[in-house]
Structures are given as C-alpha cells and as structure tokens.
Structure 1
Amino acid sequence: MSMSSILNALEKDSDRHLDDLVQWLRIASVSSDSSRKSDVARAADWLMDKFRGAGLAVELVPTQGHPMVIAETAPVPGAPVVVVYGHYDVQPVEPLDQWISDPFDPTVRNGNLYARGATDDKGQVLTHVQSVCDWIANGEPLPIQVKFLIEGEEEVGSENLERMLPDLADRMACDCVVISDSGQYSDGQPAITYGLRGIATYELRIDGPSQDLHSGSFGGAVMNPAIAICHVLSSMVDKTGRIQIPGYYDDVVDLVASEREAWQNLPQDEAAFADSIGVKELFGETGYTADERRWARPTFDVNGITAGHQGEGVKTIIPATASAKFSFRLVPNQDPTKITAALEKHLADHMPPGVRYQLSPDHGAPGMLADTNSRYMAAANTAIEMAFGKKPVLIREGGSIPIVTRFQEVLGCDCLLLGWGLSDDNAHSPNEKFRIADYHRGIRASALLWDQLGKLQPSESK
C-alpha cells in the first residue's frame, strides 16, 4: 500500500477520528482529584479498548497511583523503534464559571473543539494512536515498531513513572521517543521543540495567632500572616523580573548568539502576542525578548494564595494562617534540589518575626535539550512540512514535561517534541481547545513520520 493510499484512508476516517476524541474527552480524568479516580481509570480503559480493537499488544500497568497503558506493534528487524509517550490525565477545570461550555461536554465552535484535555494531551497523543491504528487497519504493516507509553499522572508530576522507568527500560528500549504535548510556533507556522524548561513547585504555609483575631482589637500588635506571606513572596523577585534568591542563576547557561539570532528571525509580534492573551503589555526579565524569557530563562511565579475571609462582604480579621503555592521554571543545568536548598535559606533570612512557617516541596524536574542534528529530527522536519505545507521552525518550550529528561538518561534515546497546538489553546485554563484542522494535520504528520523513519537504513537507525 502506498503512502498516498494511507493518507487517503486517514482522510476518509476524519469524522470517526473526531468522534473518538469527543468520546475520550467526555471522561473527566483529573488525576489530582481523588474523587475522580474512577474517571481516570475509565480514560485508561477507553484507550486500552482502542488499542485492542486495532490488534496491538496492550497491557494496563498498575502503579502506586493511576495506571499506565503500554501497547506495541510488531517488531520490524533492522528498522528504528519509536516510543510514543503521552498522558491521558487532565488538569482541574476551576474556575468553572469561566468556561463558556461544560469542560467535559466537548463543543465545536469556530473550527475548534473545546474541552478539558483537548490539546493537553488527549487530542495530541491521539493523533499518533489514530495514525498507527488506521495504518494497521488498512492491511499494511508499519515500516517501524511503535511502542506506546501513555500514563495517567503527568499532570501531578509523573513520580510513579519516573520511579518505575528503570524497570521498564528493556521493555521500552527504543531509538527515539516521540512526544506531542507542546505547540506550533504560531498560527500557520509549525515547529519542532528541542528544549523544555524544568520545574520546581512548592507550598508555603505561614501561621500566626492560634485563631483569627479582631483586626481592631489586635491590629498593630501581631504580625498578620497574610501580610507576612506577601512580604516573603515579593522578596523572591524584583521589579525587573530578576529572581533574588542567592545562587539561583549560578548554573544557568546563557543563550548563544546564533540561537538568539535564529529566534529573532522568527515572525515575532510581541504586541499581537500580548493582545492574544489579554494584557496591555508584556513583562519580564530585562534584556531578553518575550520568546527568550518564556523558553530559555528561569522564572518564578505565584500560582495561588489563600488567607482570611473569602466569603461575601467584609470580615475585619487578622487571619490565623496564610498559604501560597508557587513554582520556578528552570532551564537546563539547574538542579531542583539545589533550588530547594537555596529557597529554604532565603525564607529563613526573609521571614518576618512573630510567625511560624512550613515549606512543602511538591515535584521537581530538570530542563532538557534535544539533538537538533539527529536523523530523527530530519525525518520529523520532512513529515511536518508535508502535512502542514510549511517547513517547521526550531523552538524551545517554556513548559515542563518532567519525564523527558529521564527518558534520555534511562533509555539513552533521542527525543522528538512535535506539537500541534496553538499558543491560545488555553492549556491549564478555562476554555481549553484544539483546532480541529490541526488535529487532522497532526494525524497526517504522524503517519508521514512513520514512513520517513522507515526509510532510514539500518546503520542509520542508531
């Protein structure tokens, strides 16, 4: 069967492909919500049924949390072996009142499919599932072996997969890992991502009096925990966006001139970017463009603050406690454990008197860089250009996929980060979406990638 026949078959199946995605998106697989445990399991079962229906060998692998789905096609001697990694768990939906439509009732508007998980990551990983299943269904063996490793805990840090990966190394042995959990550079400009930032996340709790106090009777006599937490958080970053924790930048590798020049030649429009996310102007570390700051510079962000009265009307109190969740995005070479040690010292030096505090680290992962000169990168470049009608650009991504660096370390493989989403897809936010045309283009690009990888000579596959 020719490649054109396979692409024609994919085109004929486009309605079913969309229906499959709608079905999967209806399942509220929020991994961080214990009340959704059965929904997370149902999302894994849906995927298992999809693989079984196509005749793949498939197994549900239990973990201490949510299970992993592992499936594989038949081996092809002398050809590359590819692992497709993705996740079927999704982020919480709050604030629910900001959704135009129900986050678990997928809705089509203006050529987009709106639902939680549409682009992160059910829609994107399903492009690879569809291309493989349809290829096999059309009676032709794949030119390479494809293994799928799709987990249910990426949105909570992938700790169980990270712990279990060495034991899975022989089973997941491969030449390359393909991951679609990122995006295009801009509308109409596809991209291959060759770098990810790392992450370190925390929760800080500050306790003051033994109970809430009347702010008139006690104000001015005790430290207010809400004020204390504001002081501490503001001490971590200055007005220019520069992080103030001692030693924070010690391991940061500066961007090279050729990389900065390549990014500056991209079709940037910072005013349009600001408008697309609803702000009047951009902000960040002085001396860097917006792309440089969000792709390759470390950052600090407050993710949530809780203190005092949250109900209707005024309640004049000094709250007994305050808490904040915050995160650092790290660049390659920065070590989350070193960041934690520096943070603990900074907190000890900057905590106001009269309060007690507890820092609780959550999850952390280093950043990564991929080999931009690999044969797999060249194959992906050709496949994407054929599917999208435009040559992809090479970019980094400011987000984090915690397990990618571990794939490089444990499996000794290359990584291809091929994103089909757009910057306004609202991943992690209300009204998450995935453009339907890009979903279908992603399926085509996936099929073309298997074809391009199958053309590598045996000596070139390693």
Structure 2
Amino acid sequence: MSVIQPVLDRIDQNLDQSLERLFALLRIKSISTDPVFKADVREAAEWLVADLKTIGFEASVRDTTGHPMVVAHHEGPSPEAPHLLFYGHYDVQPVDPLELWHDDPFDPAVKELSPGRKVITGRGSSDDKGQLMLFVEACRAWKQVHGALPARITLLFEGEEESGSPSLKPFLKAHAAELKADFALVCDTGMWDAETPAISTGLRGLVGEEIVVKAADRDLHSGEFGGAAANPIRILAKVLADIHDEDGKVTIPGFYDGVEDTPSQILESWNGLGETAESFLGQVGLSIPSGEKGRSVLELTWARPTAEFNGIIGGYTGKGFKTVIASEASAKVSFRLVQKQNPDAVRAAFRDFVKARIPADCSVEFHPHGGSPAIQLSYDSPFLAKAKDALSDEWQKPAVMIAMGGSIPVVGDFQTFLGMESLLVGFGLSDDRIHSPNEKYELTSFHKGQRSWARILEALTR
C-alpha cells in the first residue's frame, strides 16, 4: 500500500472537522492595520499555537515590536530528512465598506453559488487563513496516519503581512539560525484557473522613484515669461517621453543588464494557456498591448521589466484656468524588475538618465520609494519538478509554471536573510475577492489543497 493514499483518505474523512477549525480561526477579527484589533490579532496567534500543539508541534507566540509571529517546529523521521519552512499569514484586511458585504465578514459559512459549486465565505477565507490551514491539515492527517511527519517542518505564521510586514525583516535577522531550512514553502498565491494548479516560479522586483524638476524661483506669468523661461513641466514631459522607444523598450542605458530570455519551452507552455491580448486587456476596456512589441501579454507581465509613470504633478490643477509657468513639476516612476536586474544599478542609471536631460539653470531632486530584486526559481530545480508532478496527480491536469507581475516581499527576505529559495504554491482563484467585500474560497480548493500539500510533502521527501 502506498504511503500517501491513507493520508489522502484521512483528509477526506477529516473534511468536516477541518472546516470547523477554519471557521473558528475565521471568526477572529485579526485586522493587523487597525490598533483597535490588536487583541484580536494576538488571539488568532494563540489559537494557532494551541491547534498546532494538538498535532505535536512545539509552537509558541513570539512577540515583536508589532503583532506577534507564530513559530512552530516538528521533528522529521530521521536527522537526514529534509527541513522545510512553511510560511503563511494569519492577519487579514479591514472589511470596509461593511455595507457591501452580503453577510457578516466574521461569520463564515459554506454557500452554494451554483449547482455543485460551494464556497467558504468570510474575511480571510482565501487570504490567507484558508490557505495556511491547508498545510496544517495535511500535517495533521500525516501525523494521524503515520504517527510522524515525513520531514522536519518549521512553520512561520506572520501577523503583519496586510500592514506592510514591519517586524518581519528584524525577526528573520534575529532568528535566522532557528528558521533556516533547505527551502521554503509559500502559500499566498493561486491557481491558473479552477481546474488547473500552478506553481509561481518568478516574482518581479520593484524600484520606486519620485523626481522633482525645479526651474524658476517662483511661478511665472506665461505671457510675461513664456518662450524665455524654462518650463519644468515641459522638461519633465520630455524626460518621461525619452524613457521608451517606439517599440516599447526602455532606453535607459544598462536597464536590461541581467535580463535573460525566457526558455522557449516555458513560453510555449504560457502560450498554451490561451490568454490573448483581447482576453487579458478586455476586462479593463483595452485591447492593444503597450509594452515591447512582439511579446505576449503573459510574457510582458510575467517575465519582462517595465518602466511605468504612476503620477505627474505640476502647475495649476484646480478648476478653471490659470496662465502660469510652474516653478516645479514632479513625477512618480516605478520599475518592475526581472531575473538578475540590480535595483541599485537601475536606480542609479535612471538618475543619470534624468540628470543628462535637465538644463544647466534648472535642478532635479530624487526621492527613493523602496527597492527589491526579482525572484526567479530555477526552471530545472528538482523540487520544482517533484511538486509539479504531485499537483498534476491530484488535479488530474498538468500543473503549469506561471509567474507573477507583482511582488511577495517575504520570498526575497527568505533569500536575503535565510539564503533559501521558495516554492510558491497556492489554491486561490482570481475571483476570490481578496481585500474586497464578500471574500470567498472555493470548497474544492480547501479540500484538494490539503490533498495537494500532502502529495507535495510525500514527493519532496522520497
């Protein structure tokens, strides 16, 4: 008899009880960004510790300068067994506007949206309490069936992810020796669609910059000084226009240093997902890609770097009209990075690019707004292949390797402070309404997600 089959059977038998446990956690109002709920956030941490102890974890609430972390350890079957670090977060987003919820956001339930399709409702059901409990339930079933876990496992559950993770980096630095494992498992991601599991292999990095172009020492009358005095809005517009060429490529020297072509087999698999420019952009009322020509929308958003303008301010912007030449103009610019691009090098190159376009009698100031490198998992990683096979076995459909246009900072922190790569597997769907009213989580995701993590554990520890 296989090692995994009785574990899967136990997960099936435990489904009702696992739902009850999730509901108990969902009822706790662990909103991290609002000080009013500070005691609730701690209550959620304490609930998790108590539950983990019933499985045999050595679990504890760890205080930080903000909300607490939950750290738990469980020994493996032998000293040679792999050591895995699993990360999730137990805090949730605020529920405002409350009047848009169909039901009490902290009174979870199972509802049937359509024949055969049931969902779990409530704040945190998908992001991220439902997701982290999948792994906990997989461990519970393993322990009940085999009396042990197949690997040495450390759990790290954060209480501040939804409020910027201010305590995470100091905590990782202070506890690096305790938390370092062979690699990390991160659950805060999703599937490609309701039937297709996915592994996220890439996360774009980020550089944020605000530039302020200054010219005259005061706002000027455009009739008196127009044509003679430098106009910072015009200067700024020219700078921004120069950043892209006619083919959508970024023209900043050295910008593409460290950018490699995505392997052809990966591009083929992305093309096979059926996403088109019309289907991707149509949902926001657009149809024509604006990035580098000759690339698909998935490659543009998953594997190519960008330069985007997020805000421009200058001159008179109130009602009516004012004939003025502003004394200064500013813009907020963000760069999404991929692969081996260096955030510091990109920032420096951008500043040099701007300075070269500022007239001698004008000046420019720069205000940085964060920077982080991209994360790229090796496509030939052995544990990536094992996880892919495990997911495909459970869902009876080949798992796809996707990327994410945004960032999950903890993945970079694990790499920086713990020297670990991360495997990103999640079971959320794009319509789960995370951060919005009426958040939900598919019951199928909750059930098969537990089975998937059990299969992944078995695959990674063969």
Q: TM-score range by the shorter chain?
A: 0.7 to 0.9
Q: CA deviation at 1:375?
A: 3.7
TM-aligned CA distance change 1:374 to 1:362, over 3 Å: same
Q: Percent identity?
A: 35
- Report what 2:299 is aligned to: 292
The 1:431–1:273 alpha-carbon spacing in structure 2 relative to 1, beyond 3 Å, is: farther
In 1, Cα distance between equivalents of 2:394 and 2:369? 39
Deviations 1:315-338 (A, max 9, x none): 878999998765432101112222
Is residue 193 of structure 2 the alignment partner of residue 186 of structure 1?
yes
Q: Residue 328 of structure 1 corresponds to which residue in structure 2? A: 335
Structure 1 residue 380: deviation in Å?
A: 1.4
Is the deviation greater in 151-160 or in 352-361? 352-361
Indicate the residue corresponding to 2:344 in structure 1.
337
- For the 8 Å contact 2:172–2:417, the answer to whether it is kept is yes
- Mark the CA change 1:233 to 1:87 in structure 2 (over 3 Å): closer, same or farther: farther
Does the alignment pair 1:121 with 2:132? Answer: no
Q: Does structure 1 residue 253 correspond to structure 2 residue 275? A: no
Partner of 1:60: 61
Paired residues for 1:154-173 under 5 Å? 154-155=161-162, 158=165, 160-173=167-180
Q: Which moved more, 1:4-13 or 1:332-341?
A: 4-13
- Please name the residue that 1:452 is paired with: 459
In structure 2, how many angstroms separate the alpha carbons of the residues matched to 1:442 and 1:172?
A: 25
Paired with 2:102 and 2:246, the residues of 1 have a C-alpha distance of 38
Q: Does 1:416 align with 2:423?
A: yes
Distance (whole Å) between structure 2 residues aligned to residue 339 and residue 92 of structure 1: 35
C-alpha offsets along residues 244-269 of structure 1, whole Å, 9 cap, x if unaligned?
A: 54432233223243433343344444
Per-residue deviation, 1:90: 4.3
Does the 8 Å CA contact 1:366/1:402 hold for their aligned counterparts?
A: no
Between stretches 136-145 and 301-310, larger displacement belongs to 301-310
Q: Relative to structure 1, is the Cα distance of residues 294 and 116 closer, same or farther in structure 2, using a 3 angstrom cutoff? A: farther
Q: Does residue 4 of structure 2 align to residue 3 of structure 1?
A: yes
Indicate whether 1:74 and 2:49 are aligned.
Answer: no
Quick one: which amino acid aligns to residue 85 of structure 2? V
| 1:87 corresponding residue in structure 2 | 89
State the AA in 2 paired with 1:200: V
Q: 1:302 to 1:12 in 2, by over 3 A?
A: farther
Residue in 2 that maps onto 1:49 = 50
Q: How far apart, in 1, do the equivalents of 2:421 and 2:277 lie?
A: 32
Query: What pairs with 1:36-435 in structure 2 (closer than 5 Å)?
Result: 37-77=38-78, 78-90=80-92, 96=97, 101=102, 104-105=105-106, 108=111, 110=113, 111-113=118-120, 115-137=122-144, 140-155=147-162, 158=165, 160-202=167-209, 241-275=248-282, 279-280=286-287, 282-301=289-308, 327-346=334-353, 348=355, 359-408=366-415, 410-427=417-434, 432-435=439-442
Describe the shift of the 1:416–1:305 C-alpha distance in structure 2 as closer, same or farther (beyond 3 A): same
Give the Cα separation in 1 of the matches to 2:90 and 2:330.
30
**Corresponding residue for 1:17?**
18
Whether the 8 Å contact between 2:278 and 2:286 is mirrored in structure 1 is: no
Alpha-carbon contact 2:6-2:145 (below 8 Å) kept: no
After superposition, the Cα gap between the structure-2 partners of 1:22 and 1:344, relative to the gap in structure 1 and judged at 3 Å, is farther
The answer for the alignment partner of 1:460 in structure 2 is: none
Give 1 or 2 for the bigger CA radius of gyration.
2
User: Compared with structure 1, are the counterparts of its residues 449 and 414 closer, same or farther at alpha carbon in structure 2 (3 Å cutoff)?
Assistant: same
CA–CA separation in structure 2 for the residues paired with 1:17 and 1:219: 73
Contact 1:368 1:405 survives alignment (8 Å)? yes
Q: TM-score, normalised by structure 2?
A: 0.77
Distance 1:7 1:239 in 2: 55
Indicate how the Cα distance of structure 1 residues 375 and 207 shifts in structure 2: closer, same or farther if over 3 A, else same: same
Q: Distance in 1 between matches of 2:84 and 2:63?
A: 23
Amino acid of the residue matched to residue 188 of structure 2? D
On the 8 A contact 2:95/2:105 being kept in 1, the answer is no
Output the amino acid matched with 1:399.
G
CA distance in 1, matches of 2:127, 2:419: 26
Structure 1 stretch 444-453 or stretch 422-431: which is displaced more? 422-431
3-state SS of paired residue (1:399) = coil
Contact in 2 for aligned 1:157/1:363 (Cα 8 Å) = no
Q: Give unmatched runs, 5+ long, in structure 2.
A: none
Q: Read off the aligned partner of 2:397 and give its amino acid letter.
A: K
- Report if the CA contact (8 A) 1:27-1:104 is conserved: no
Is the CA contact (8 Å cut-off) linking 2:191 and 2:198 kept in structure 1? yes
For residue 136 of structure 1, report the CA deviation from its aligned partner: 3.0
Secondary structure of 2:409's aligned partner:
coil
Amino acid across the alignment from 1:173: K
Relative to structure 1, the CA distance from residue 376 to residue 257 in structure 2 (aligned partners, 3 Å threshold; closer, same or farther) is closer
Q: Specify whether residues 29 and 259 from structure 1 end up closer, same or farther in structure 2 by C-alpha distance, changes over 3 A only.
A: same
